[in-house]
Amino acid sequence: MTFMDKIFRRSERRPSGAEIAEAMTAPAGHGAPSPRMSMEALYQHAGKLGLVPGCIVDVGAAWGDFTRMAARLMPGTTVLMMEPLTEYDAPLRRLLTEVPNTHLVQAAAADYIGKMTINVHGDLVGSSLMREWDEPEEVNGEPRDVAVTTIDAEMAKLGRPENVWLKIDVQGAGLKVLAGAEETLRRTALLVVETTLFNTFADGPLTGDVMAYMAARGFVLYDIAGFLYRPLDGALMQIDLAFVPKDSPLRRNHGFATPEQRREFTAYLATRKNA
């Protein structure tokens, strides 16, 4: 574990000013991201600061790994999984029997209720309602008609719970999902959505488009929960952005550090200057 990891991982202990200063002035590191940059660490952080989910929505549930993590960190919370691919049926059905208060909707989340074609990739996890436009035809996999529904419709069935924590991992179709969650967004306390920096998907939104969409609905960027470099050339390709309402209790304090931390910070930098 690097020094930066030790300082900035989610922990109960507040770092000292000297620790903050040393981490901020250290040369940029390489290799694995800090442990704080993950969905699990983000949920732990939000929980420690007093944010409590009324319902967690897992859009793009796949094997159910995210739902298991969320249920472990927030036991007793209702978790709704949305997943259209039948290939994931067995692990998700098993999860329903093992984890209380979990629900499964076997449909893709979109902006209307009905049917839609999903492109099923050989690796399954790359499957999308969008098409990769600048790739050989076989990359898009096999088209398959699946049921689609909206988050708003499924939340209505659960009684429209408050303080929703929403996770969206749908390979370029994030804005389609959000368009079907307009009412739910008004009751959402924390939202994480996978975004891309490249036009991989035909007519798919870029990271900036998603940020603008969320800003227009009163949300601001709060954290980064993960990222992916593409194997093609090592460029940063995907970023998992965490949004909260602008007036979220997580943003109640806009300061940088406590007075004690600032004093230690300044004192440490003075020793570096005089070294």
The rounded Cα 20 to chain-centroid distance in angstroms is 26
Q: Is residue 25 part of a domain?
A: no
The closest of 32, 147, 39 to 84, measured between CA atoms, is 147
By C-alpha distance, which of 148, 68, 52 is closest to 102? 68
**Residue 241 maps to a domain:** yes
Determine, yes or no, domain membership for 8. Answer: no
Give a yes or no: residue 112 inside a domain.
Answer: yes
pLDDT class of 102 with cuts at 50, 70, 90: very high
Confidence of residue 134 (pLDDT cuts 50, 70, 90): low
| 251-to-42, 90, 228 alpha-carbon distances in Å | 14, 40, 27
Q: Which of 22-26, 98-102, 108-112, 241-245 has the lowest mean pLDDT?
A: 22-26
- Structural domain contains residue 50: yes
pLDDT tens for each residue of 76-97 = 999 999 999 999 999 999 999 9
Residue 235: how many CB atoms within 10 A of its CB?
10
Evaluate whether residue 14 is within a structural domain: no
Q: What is the pLDDT of residues 28-67, one digit of tens each?
A: 443 444 557 899 999 999 999 999 999 999 999 999 999 9
| Domain assignment of residue 155, given as a range | 30-274
Overall number of domains in the chain: 1
Q: Is 250 part of a structural domain of the chain?
A: yes
Whether residue 182 is contained in a domain is answered as: yes
CATH number, domain of 209, equals 3.40.50.150
Count of alpha carbons within 13 angstroms of residue 112, beta-carbon side: 3
Which has the higher per-residue pLDDT, 60 or 172? 60
